[in-house]
Amino acid sequence: MAKLFLGLDSSTQSLSAVVIDADRRKVVYEKSLNFDQALPHYGTRNGVLPHPDPLVKHSPPLMWVEALDRLFAGMKKDGVALGEILAISGSGQQHGSIYLNDRAAGALAKLDPKKSLVENLKGVFSRPASPIWMDSSTAAECAEIRKKLGGIKATAESTGSDTFERFTGPQIRKFYKTEPKAYAQTASIALVSSFMASLLAGKIAPIDHGDGAGMNLMDIRKKSWHPGALAATAPDLKKKLPPLAASGKVIGKVSAYFVRKFGLNPEALATVWTGDNPASVIGLGLIQPGQVAISLGTSDTFFGSMQKCQTDAHGEGHVFGSPAGGYMTLICFKNGSLAREKIRERYGVKNWAAFGKLLAQTRPGNGGGILLPWFEAEIVPRVNRPGVHRFDLDEKDAAANARAIFEAQMMSMRLHSQWMKVAPEKILATGGASNNPQLLRVMADVMNCRVERIEVSKSAALGAALQAAHGFLVQAGKKPKWEKVVAGFTNPIPNSEIRPNPKAAKIYDKLIGKYAACEWEALKQIS
Ligand code: XUL
């Protein structure tokens, strides 16, 4: 019997599965289910429900429930040896929250395999929609909580981050303020990660220290619920939150629903899930402090491992617990892939290869042309009024705009990651857009650092599978070393290294000052 481990990733737009064979050190199966395409009856666009207020971004939790059923059915149909899976872990888009009533725990405990998961669970929500990480409608609640916790620096010191609109605490506070009855009927609040883990475990699952740190509710140093933050957020909150636990810790055996319906091994273990970014830290092998990665996905993220907990006094970056122990840092830029796509569509560019070629027709620095691509409200820098700003850039010039958007995204990363005080030797590039060599050339030159690609299209799901393997070994009384757990799975692509061009790097050393001034100017205009 093979030693298989399953990692799932419930992201904004899709649910993915990665199965690894621990002995052969190989990914043996990968599959993604796109919500808009596979589950059109929920009416989402890019996984999000339409809403008249552009700051509000909600998704239907039942869609995630149905996706899990469908994904397992797909794996069974594809002949995955589900009976040989020893443990399952997962990751979820961070910050999103699910509100469950007092019927949830009972329904989870006796999931009926003759019915679908949706039929089993449709009555367990005290709120039909879940605010997700793209939501930026809680500026007032952020200010209220921040004030009670003593300002930006103190909030970041206590919870790992300043209050952010998408973070779960401010979202919970808004729910309590606007729908007090529904809040009172909420018996349990879950994150996307802990909710999905609950389905597999058949019981309300703990929240881990990685995703838990994205709530503005966890004491980042003690890794326990922060009483001051709970009090600043909403009444009776402690009762509604599950316990905190280490990522990958075994919750118990997988629910009989999955055994009977899909043929999972009854001894297979369900473990604590984490956030997609913490899982990617594992999936990219960023085990040693100081190792960093840039992920070009729906959001663009800059993240890495950190030994000691060091918070950002300006409150732009985040510190989360790392599933590999210790801490990780993260800065999240909301206008990532979707913003690049908007520019590609605006100039009628067919595909990403053509986009890269177009960009390459221009010179590094774009003759000083700058584009601030805040199509959506931005997280870093904080922008609550979306809009695109151009400085010394001709809107009609397609090639210059193609270069400008990515240069701006990279300069923003460089500027806003200075607080980490990490001088990486190498950046690992990952995520959908990382297979575009022209983009990686800009990345290496702006960051003035070697860039290597890592061929993990699903780094979060792979990280989750590795976390399942680690959790399994811990449960068996072993003391697994993370280096050994990830070995063979997280090697960068051979010969993919791009070295910075010293001339181009010099251009960006200068341009970064202008870029910062443009940000100031645009922020002043819209404030
Ligand atoms: C991180 C964040 C995003 C989501 C995307 O803070 O908001 O990266 O996790 O799924």
DSSP 378: B
Environment class of residue 442 by beta-carbon count within 10 Å: exposed (0-12), middle (13-18) or buried (19+)? Answer: buried
> Is pLDDT of 46 > 90?
yes
- Euclidean distance between CA atoms 126 and 26, whole angstroms: 42
Atom from ligand 1 closest to the CA of residue 275: 9
Contact 373, 343 (CB under 8 A): yes
Instruction: Kindly indicate the confidence band of residue 198, based on its pLDDT and cuts at 50, 70 and 90.
Output: very high
> Is pLDDT of 338 > 80?
yes
> Is pLDDT of 527 > 90?
no
Nearest to 402 by CA among 348, 356, 363, 442: 356
Contact 155, 149 (CB under 8 A): yes
> Is pLDDT of 290 > 80?
no
Atom from ligand 1 closest to the CA of residue 133: 7
Buried b (16+ CB within 10 A) or exposed e, 148-179: bbeebebbbbbbbbbbbbbbbbbbbbbbbeee
Entry field: residues in the chain? 527
pLDDT digits (tens, 9 = 90+) for 91-116: 999 999 999 999 999 999 999 999 99
Determine the distance separating the centroid of ligand 1 and the alpha carbon of 376, expressed in angstroms: 14
Mean pLDDT of the chain: 96
Contact 182, 127 (CB under 8 A): yes
Residue bearing tokens 């030159």: 445
Determine the distance separating the centroid of ligand 1 and the alpha carbon of 525, expressed in angstroms: 27
13 lines ligand 1 (CB under 6 A): no
214 lines ligand 1 (CB under 6 A): yes
301 lines ligand 1 (CB under 6 A): yes
Atom from ligand 1 closest to the CA of residue 94: 9
> Is pLDDT of 289 > 90?
no
Shortest-distance Cα residue to atom 5 of ligand 1: 93
Determine the distance separating the centroid of ligand 1 and the alpha carbon of 510, expressed in angstroms: 31
Cβ-based neighbour number of residue 421 at 10 Å: 7
**By percentage, how much of the chain surpasses pLDDT 90?**
90
96 lines ligand 1 (CB under 6 A): no
Question: Among 49-58, 262-271, 419-428, 467-476, which stretch is predicted with the lowest mean pLDDT?
Answer: 419-428
Site to probe by mutation for ligand 1, drawn from 136, 320, 332, 430 as the one with most ligand atoms within 8 Å of Cβ, is: 332
95 lines ligand 1 (CB under 6 A): yes
Atom from ligand 1 closest to the CA of residue 214: 6
- Euclidean distance between CA atoms 416 and 410, whole angstroms: 10
Global pTM value = 0.89
166 lines ligand 1 (CB under 6 A): yes
Site to probe by mutation for ligand 1, drawn from 10, 95, 216, 376 as the one with most ligand atoms within 8 Å of Cβ, is: 95
Atom from ligand 1 closest to the CA of residue 95: 7
Which pair of structure tokens corresponds to residue 259? Answer: 């055994």
Contact 472, 86 (CB under 8 A): yes
> Is pLDDT of 347 > 80?
yes
Determine the distance separating the centroid of ligand 1 and the alpha carbon of 278, expressed in angstroms: 10
What's the confidence (pLDDT) of residue 457? 64
445 lines ligand 1 (CB under 6 A): no
Site to probe by mutation for ligand 1, drawn from 16, 57, 93 as the one with most ligand atoms within 8 Å of Cβ, is: 93
C-alpha to C-alpha distances, 136 to 52, 55, 58, 355, 373, nearest whole angstrom? 14, 5, 11, 30, 17
Nearest to 10 by CA among 69, 51, 50: 69
> Is pLDDT of 421 > 80?
no
Question: Among 198-202, 241-245, 303-307, which stretch is predicted with the lowest mean pLDDT?
Answer: 303-307
Q: How far is CA 487 from the centre of its chain?
A: 23
**By percentage, how much of the chain surpasses pLDDT 70?**
100
> Is pLDDT of 433 > 70?
yes
Question: Among 20-29, 263-272, 300-309, which stretch is predicted with the lowest mean pLDDT?
Answer: 300-309
Nearest to 291 by CA among 404, 420, 185: 420
303 lines ligand 1 (CB under 6 A): no
Average pLDDT over residues 73-94: 98
pLDDT digits (tens, 9 = 90+) for 480-505: 999 999 999 998 889 999 999 999 99
Site to probe by mutation for ligand 1, drawn from 133, 302, 378 as the one with most ligand atoms within 8 Å of Cβ, is: 133
- Euclidean distance between CA atoms 333 and 518, whole angstroms: 17
Instruction: Kindly indicate the confidence band of residue 306, based on its pLDDT and cuts at 50, 70 and 90.
Output: confident
Determine the distance separating the centroid of ligand 1 and the alpha carbon of 2, expressed in angstroms: 34
Determine the distance separating the centroid of ligand 1 and the alpha carbon of 277, expressed in angstroms: 7
Contacts of 471 (CB under 8 A, 6+ apart): 87, 89, 248, 249, 250, 269, 271, 272
Shortest-distance Cα residue to atom 6 of ligand 1: 332
Shortest-distance Cα residue to atom 10 of ligand 1: 93
> Is pLDDT of 516 > 80?
yes
C-alpha to C-alpha distances, 133 to 179, 230, 301, 339, 495, nearest whole angstrom? 20, 20, 13, 16, 35
Environment class of residue 5 by beta-carbon count within 10 Å: exposed (0-12), middle (13-18) or buried (19+)? Answer: buried
What's the confidence (pLDDT) of residue 269? 98
> Is pLDDT of 431 > 90?
no
- Euclidean distance between CA atoms 254 and 199, whole angstroms: 9
